[in-house]
Amino acid sequence: MDIYTDDTTWPATGAPSFPTSFIAGMSSHNVAILPTLLLIGQLTTPQIARGVSLSEFWAWVRYVYAVSSDSDLRITADFANLDSHQKTILSDDFGMGIPIGYLVGTLGLVSWSDGRYFMDRMSALMHGPLPVPRKRGPRKAPDFVFMDHAGALHVVECKGGQSGPDARDRQLSSTTSKGEPTGGVVQKRMVLLPAHLQGQRLACGLSIGVSGKLGPSDLKIVDPEFNPEFDLSEADDSVIGDPVMRSGLAKSLRGAGFPATAAAVAAPSGPSARAKSIEASPAFLRASRRRVIDQRNAAARAELGAAGAVSFMIGDTKLVGREVTMVLPVPLTIDGETYRRAIIRQGVPPDLLGMVMEIGLVEGALPSLGRQKEGIGGIKLIAEGARGELRIGGSFASEIILEKSAGPAGTEVPSA
């Protein structure tokens, strides 16, 4: 896949400077499909959700059929001809997973928070509430806030589409009917972070090519300037890392099959991440709020202590989580090999559960919880033939294995 990084959009002086790990102008990037699908699954996993089934979490497995057999990244004509709603979902998911898969390696990213969750949680931690981000337009929260190995925070907005580079460029930057700037370049500039923690502020636009048609897939990365909507430049170091830490833990726990614990970690003071601490509420409400939180934390501890989680190994790492073997609805052919079944595992290390039990359910800011665990090795996408693996430091790992047999697990048949 081609990548065009427009270095002219970075400030001529001051921060952020153009990253030394980026290549100005045109470059290329090999997309590892299977681990990218796993990454899409984690990027789209909510920190707090109720009534979500295992099959809904892994609905993104269907995208394995969307990628064509071309030598460059393209989607098949069948998926390009989906109705507009389904095409939009695919474009949005690929528009997140593929750019982030590139940034993971180039920026040394270790963990992340959804942009809206980041703003909601910061609102809970700040002395005064922050305005609620809109779901679209100039005041929409950016897609993600990432942390790198050094603790710097990178604000990233992602766009994806199948209508060509011109449409992609309009997604990145355009104006409303009222003449207001909109698009990814506005949303990613919405949050101003403390100067010593401010990393890159990026808008990434993916134009997705279709098999049999002119025009390849290509990614454009820019950093234009707009005035920030929300100023967090004076936020204390003790709280600014909390949303990323909690989000990373919650997503890992939810992916491993611990939804009650994930919700308690993500929103420690109430039903949503915006809920302020119990001590900040009127005295007559504190006892009732405390009872609700105590009940929820008790449910989380019971969930962590239950015997329902599966133990397994990914590589040389012991994990607890969940594992599913599914027969593919249609045989899948990749590089001349036909696969009929997929095995999917995702889990967390057992000692992470102990750490969450000990200190992960407290109300206060968690500036360091998870940093050591998540920072080891950063985020890695690993492709090994018919196997893909995603690792998020020492806190989470998942893998998808394609098998040629649809019989009992572990059985194989020779390829045709």
> What pLDDT digit, counting tens, does each position of 82-101 carry?
888 788 888 899 999 999 99
The answer, yes or no, to whether residue 331 has pLDDT greater than 80, is yes
Beta strands in 51-124 (DSSP E): 109-114
Report d(CA 55, CA 68) in Å as an integer.
24
Q: How many CA atoms lie within 13 A of 360 on its CB side?
A: 28
At 416, is the pLDDT very low, low, confident or very high (cuts 50, 70, 90)?
very low
229-250 pLDDT, tens digit each: 778 888 888 889 899 989 999 9
**Backbone angles phi and psi of 81, in degrees to 5:** -95, 10
In 361-403, where does DSSP find H-type helix?
Answer: 371-375
Alpha-carbon dihedral sign for residues 239, 244, 247, 249: negative
Would the CA dihedral through 8, 14, 15, 21 be positive or negative? positive
pLDDT band at residue 308 under the 50/70/90 scheme:
confident
Q: How high is the pLDDT of residue 359?
A: 78
pLDDT computed for residue 370 by the predictor: 43
105-152 per-position pLDDT tens digit: 999 999 999 999 999 999 899 876 666 666 655 567 789 999 998 889
Give residue 312's pLDDT band: very low, low, confident or very high (50, 70, 90).
very high
Q: Is 379 helix (H, G, I), strand (E, B) or coil?
A: strand
The answer to whether the beta carbons of residues 222 and 172 sit under 8 Å apart is: yes
DSSP state of 12: S
How far apart, in whole angstroms, are the C-alpha atoms of residue 79 and residue 67?
A: 9
* Average pLDDT of span 390-395: 91
Q: Are 269 and 276 in contact (CB under 8 A)?
A: yes
Burial of 225 (0-12, 13-18, 19+ CB in 10 A): exposed
Local confidence band at 302 (pLDDT 50, 70, 90 cut-offs)? very high
The DSSP code sequence of 171-184 is: HHSEE-TTS-EESH
Mean pLDDT value across the chain: 84
**Residue 401 to residue 34: CA distance in whole angstroms:** 9
pLDDT tens track for 342-362: 999 999 999 999 888 877 788
Confidence at 188, pLDDT banded by 50, 70, 90? very low
Helix or strand run (H / E) with residue 198: strand 198-207
Mean pLDDT across 201-209: 93
Cα distances (angstroms) measured from residue 262 to each of 207, 323, 335, 399: 34, 18, 39, 21
Closest CA to 140 of 118, 161, 110, 125: 118
What residues are paired with 342 via a beta bridge? Answer: 326, 402
- pLDDT above 50 (res 176): no
363 and 269 Cβ atoms separated by less than 8 Å: yes
Model confidence over 246-300: pLDDT tens digits? 999 999 999 899 999 999 999 999 888 989 888 888 899 999 999 999 999 999 9
304: left (phi over 0), alpha (psi -120 to 50) or beta: alpha
Q: Among the residues of 256-305, which ranges form H helices?
A: 259-266, 283-305
Write down the pLDDT at residue 144. 94
Q: Measured between alpha carbons, how far is residue 263 from residues 46, 54, 55, 254, 269 in Å?
A: 9, 16, 19, 8, 11
Q: How far apart are CA 396 and CA 117, in angstroms?
A: 20
At residue 373 the predicted structure's pLDDT band, cuts being 50, 70 and 90, is: very low
Q: % helix / strand / coil in the chain, to the nearest 5?
A: 35, 25, 40
More confident residue, 265 or 364: 265
Cross-strand pairs, 327? 341
Report the pLDDT averaged over residues 304-317.
89
Q: What is the residue type of 61?
A: V
Q: What's the half-sphere exposure (Cβ side, CA atoms, 13 Å) at 92?
A: 11
Q: How confident is the model at residue 371 (pLDDT cuts 50, 70, 90)?
A: very low
What is the pLDDT at residue 413? 46
Q: Indicate if the pLDDT at residue 191 is higher than 90.
A: no
Cα radius of gyration (the chain): 22
Centre a 10 Å sphere on the Cβ of residue 31 and count the other Cβ atoms it contains.
Answer: 19
